Amino acid sequence: MSVVIEISSPLLKFTEETKTVIVDGNTVHECLIDLAGVYPMISDFLFDMTGTLKTVVAVNGAVIPQKRLDMAVSSDDHLTLLLPVDGG
Protein backbone atom coordinates (compact mmCIF):
# COMPACT_ATOMS: atom_id res chain seq x y z
CA MET A 1 0.00 0.00 0.00
CA SER A 2 1.21 3.53 -0.75
CA VAL A 3 1.90 5.84 2.17
CA VAL A 4 3.12 9.45 2.20
CA ILE A 5 6.26 10.36 4.14
CA GLU A 6 6.94 14.03 4.81
CA ILE A 7 10.62 14.86 5.09
CA SER A 8 11.61 17.67 7.46
CA SER A 9 13.83 20.41 6.01
CA PRO A 10 17.16 19.32 7.56
CA LEU A 11 16.76 15.89 5.96
CA LEU A 12 16.01 17.05 2.42
CA LYS A 13 19.67 16.64 1.46
CA PHE A 14 19.12 12.87 1.73
CA THR A 15 16.09 12.87 -0.60
CA GLU A 16 17.39 15.12 -3.37
CA GLU A 17 15.31 17.99 -1.88
CA THR A 18 12.09 15.96 -2.26
CA LYS A 19 9.82 16.95 0.65
CA THR A 20 7.04 14.40 0.09
CA VAL A 21 7.87 10.81 -0.81
CA ILE A 22 5.36 8.08 -1.57
CA VAL A 23 6.50 4.68 -0.32
CA ASP A 24 5.04 1.20 -0.10
CA GLY A 25 4.52 -0.66 3.14
CA ASN A 26 1.99 -2.08 5.55
CA THR A 27 3.86 -1.00 8.70
CA VAL A 28 5.91 2.02 9.70
CA HIS A 29 9.07 -0.09 9.50
CA GLU A 30 8.26 -1.36 5.99
CA CYS A 31 7.68 2.22 4.85
CA LEU A 32 11.05 3.34 6.24
CA ILE A 33 12.81 0.40 4.57
CA ASP A 34 11.18 1.32 1.26
CA LEU A 35 12.25 4.95 1.70
CA ALA A 36 15.84 3.81 2.30
CA GLY A 37 15.62 1.72 -0.86
CA VAL A 38 14.59 4.75 -2.92
CA TYR A 39 17.06 7.12 -1.21
CA PRO A 40 19.98 5.03 0.10
CA MET A 41 21.74 8.09 1.54
CA ILE A 42 19.01 8.41 4.19
CA SER A 43 19.56 4.87 5.46
CA ASP A 44 22.47 5.81 7.76
CA PHE A 45 20.36 8.57 9.24
CA LEU A 46 17.36 6.30 9.81
CA PHE A 47 19.02 3.22 11.30
CA ASP A 48 22.18 2.36 13.20
CA MET A 49 24.30 -0.68 12.37
CA THR A 50 22.02 -2.98 14.39
CA GLY A 51 18.90 -1.77 12.57
CA THR A 52 17.70 0.34 15.49
CA LEU A 53 15.82 3.48 14.49
CA LYS A 54 17.84 6.65 15.11
CA THR A 55 15.27 9.27 14.11
CA VAL A 56 11.86 10.38 15.30
CA VAL A 57 8.81 9.26 13.33
CA ALA A 58 5.34 10.73 13.64
CA VAL A 59 2.21 9.10 12.27
CA ASN A 60 -0.54 11.60 11.54
CA GLY A 61 1.25 14.13 13.75
CA ALA A 62 1.72 11.85 16.77
CA VAL A 63 5.27 10.77 17.58
CA ILE A 64 5.50 7.02 17.97
CA PRO A 65 7.94 5.14 20.20
CA GLN A 66 10.53 2.89 18.60
CA LYS A 67 8.73 -0.21 19.83
CA ARG A 68 5.76 0.74 17.62
CA LEU A 69 7.58 0.41 14.28
CA ASP A 70 5.39 -2.61 13.60
CA MET A 71 2.33 -0.32 13.74
CA ALA A 72 0.06 -0.89 10.74
CA VAL A 73 -0.42 2.03 8.36
CA SER A 74 -3.00 2.75 5.68
CA SER A 75 -2.98 4.86 2.55
CA ASP A 76 -4.70 7.63 4.55
CA ASP A 77 -1.78 7.89 6.99
CA HIS A 78 1.02 10.44 6.77
CA LEU A 79 4.42 9.71 8.26
CA THR A 80 6.80 12.52 9.15
CA LEU A 81 10.53 12.17 9.72
CA LEU A 82 11.91 14.54 12.33
CA LEU A 83 15.34 15.19 13.74
CA PRO A 84 15.85 13.80 17.23
CA VAL A 85 16.45 16.49 19.84
CA ASP A 86 19.08 15.95 22.53
CA GLY A 87 19.72 18.05 25.55
CA GLY A 88 18.23 18.84 28.82
| Residue 64: band (very low, low, confident or very high) from pLDDT cuts 50, 70, 90 | very high
| Residue 52: band (very low, low, confident or very high) from pLDDT cuts 50, 70, 90 | confident
pLDDT (tens digit per residue) in 70-82: 999 999 999 999 8
Segments making up each domain of the chain, as ranges: 2-82
DSSP symbols for 5-29: EEE-GGGGGGGTT-SEEEEE-SBHH
Q: Which CATH number does 2-82 carry?
A: 3.10.20.30
pLDDT (tens digit per residue) in 30-39: 999 999 999 9
